[in-house]
Amino acid sequence: MTPKITWAQLRDLNCAGLEGAADGWGRVSNLADAGRDRVDKQLLNELRGTQQGEAADAAVERLRQLSRNFQYVYTECGLLRTTLNSMAHEIRRQQRALQEALEDAEALKFTVHPDGSVTYPEAGEGLIDGKPMPGGTATGGGVPGLLSPSGLVAPNPNVAKAQDIADRVAKAVRTAADIDWRYTRILRKLKAEEGLKVPDSTWTDAATDAAAVRNAAGAYLNEAIPHDASPAERKAWWVGLTQEQREEYLAVYPDQIGNLDGIPAVVRDAANRDNLQLLIGKLEGQEGDKAETQLAGLREIDRQLHDGRKPPMFLLGIGDEGNGRAIVSYGNPDTARNVSAYVPGLSTALDEEFAKGDLKRARDTAIGTQRHDSSSAAIVWLGYDAPQTPIDDPLGSLAVMGDGRAEKGGAAFNGFMGGLAVTNENEDPHLTAIGHSYGSRTVGAATQQGRGIPGVDDIVLVGSPGVGVDHAEDLGVGKGHVFVGAAENDVVTRLPSKRQSAVGVLGLIAGGPVTAYMAGDLADPGDDDLWFGKDPASKEFGARRFRVEEGPQLISREGISIDAHSQYFDPERNAVSADSIALIAAGQSRELKMEESR
């Protein structure tokens, strides 16, 4: 039930007091953030670097818990600050509406009573006797105190004016009461459990708290976020905010700020680390295979973020939409001269396998690249819904045969790379786009949108089933800057073309295997077409093919293996390929060992 307030209470309410309280909670939030930062970047690193043994491990675990506690305090206090500021913002709007109505009443010499009714004086003149029409009282949402008895009597011209003022006063008071009740409910929920531990269940509550504050603060903060702007415009927007505004956005909208291309990497990392905990809490409270799968992936990413590995990790994107989103950089992509971004392909989703395998590919690339140039960073970009296998997604798996997800993913990848080009602090950074498997089709799609992939100098395609174009020069970086790795035993790089498959099936129906083979050969006389166009490793395509290991055979004594398709980034199982990718990413492709085209 909405509590009643008077217009005098609304008029005299001190919104500055609410904002002062918000500032106090903001200071506590900032202190907690500074404490967490000191634990993560100083205490944990020093302890890992100087101590070993059970006691050291126990101390590390306690410090991690302390870091989680600080993070929770930072989040909740930030939500309190924004709640109070947003409440003050909305109340002030009603105070302005009320004040305007009161000023109009004063100018007309009307009297506004404590209950909001408005008394107006006599005015006008009767049509019969010419005398002034009597005054009266109007009530908000009601009818004037004196109505015209018939159409023959001219109404008092003050009636409509008084009624308008009374309605405006009533509306301002009623809206302010609703605001007060809405924010009171939110503030009552923003309270922590007793004790020093912050389990996943607490983060589930925090996720609910954040959602409630976001819903309430829509007009205060969310409407100003430049979702439809260019990366350059978003960067300018962020730079133009005050420090307090930035802190509020990070506290209430870490999911949006952390995934907004054009925002600096350190800011996105901070936002996404907070959003990661909120996502873990959110999924912890859900049932189903998708929530369980994504939760395992999120927890593994969280574990790696806190284990002190080098190069340092930057979480540039995280989300649970679709098959999940995760963008991780090893090394700071804003300060590095060389930045590569790897797009994974078939069966990639936000799960534990991605968090272990695909993140390792990016880390291996970063380590290899830094051997050639220390100013380097490598990214794994899961910013789209890659097609899944029939086992994982019977319906979605059909997407691997089409271009739809690549086209949509290519647009998102363009936006991300445009953001990197804007936020990088070097005068002329060297950017490399790497596509693996269906991810190479996604990179190919990105090159065909707009003016191509923003800022990209080199393109690397490995394990590719085709990229949607038939010539390297069509990718927008010059054929000498398109590099291809295709293992001899990688079956994906030898897929038949769509036309070859269709003709072969008809030949099989008409005359058996021999006819099918001959028909397929006629459909692709050069044997250089794949499912998504010309084979990138072919002479006709025109890219530079670098040497890679052959990889395990498809069929051997050990059984069937497609491992040749997944070893391009592995410095142990395919060192030649991994080092080739690192050389290209470091801008030193002149040192590559090349291989003849197919």
| Residue 361 buriedness (CB in 10 A; 0-12 / 13-18 / 19+) | buried
Cβ 380 vs Cβ 358: under 8 Å: yes
Tell me the pLDDT band of 526, cut-offs 50, 70 and 90. Answer: low
Tell me the pLDDT band of 196, cut-offs 50, 70 and 90. Answer: low
pTM assigned to the model: 0.83
Nearest partner of 22 among 76, 81, 72, 106, judged by Cα: 81
Q: Tell me what pLDDT residue 355 has.
A: 97
Q: Please give the C-alpha separations between residue 543 and each of 36, 526, 577, in angstroms, as whole numbers.
A: 48, 17, 16
Quick: pLDDT tens for 479-495. 999 999 999 999 999 88
Residue 596: partners with Cβ closer than 8 Å, 6 or more residues away: 545
Give Cα 376 distance to the centre of its chain.
24
CA dihedral (234, 240, 245, 250) positive or negative: positive
Backbone φ, ψ for residue 316 (5° rounding) = -95, -5
Other CB atoms within a 10 A radius of the CB of residue 148 amount to: 13
Q: Tell me what pLDDT residue 30 has.
A: 92
Q: Tell me what pLDDT residue 100 has.
A: 97
Lowest mean pLDDT segment, chosen from 316-325, 407-416, 487-496, 549-558: 549-558
Percent of all residues in the chain with a pLDDT value above 70, rounded to a whole number: 88
Q: Tell me what pLDDT residue 509 has.
A: 45
d(CA 421, CA 393) in angstroms, rounded, equals 35
Average pLDDT over residues 443-458: 96
Nearest partner of 408 among 441, 457, 376, 454, judged by Cα: 441
Q: Tell me what pLDDT residue 524 has.
A: 54
Please report how many Cα atoms fall inside a 13 Å half-sphere around the Cα of residue 336, on the Cβ side: 32
Of residues 361 and 51, the one with the higher pLDDT is 361
Mean pLDDT (the chain, rounded): 88
Angle between helices 289-305 and 265-284 (to 10 degrees): 140
Residue 509: partners with Cβ closer than 8 Å, 6 or more residues away: none
pLDDT of residue 508 exceeding 70: no
Q: Tell me what pLDDT residue 169 has.
A: 96
Quick: pLDDT tens for 201-244. 787 888 888 888 888 776 678 788 999 999 999 999 999 999 99
Nearest partner of 332 among 238, 266, 273, judged by Cα: 266
Other CB atoms within a 10 A radius of the CB of residue 335 amount to: 16
Reading the block at residue 505, the tokens are 């099936």
Average pLDDT over residues 6-34: 94
- Name beta bridge partners: 144: 138
Cβ 518 vs Cβ 508: under 8 Å: no
Torsion of CA 265, 267, 271, 274, to 10 degrees: 100
pLDDT of residue 421 exceeding 90: yes
Quick: pLDDT tens for 303-313. 999 888 889 99
Reading the block at residue 173, the tokens are 């008071």
Q: Tell me what pLDDT residue 498 has.
A: 54
Quick: pLDDT tens for 120-129. 998 877 666 6
| Residue 11 buriedness (CB in 10 A; 0-12 / 13-18 / 19+) | middle
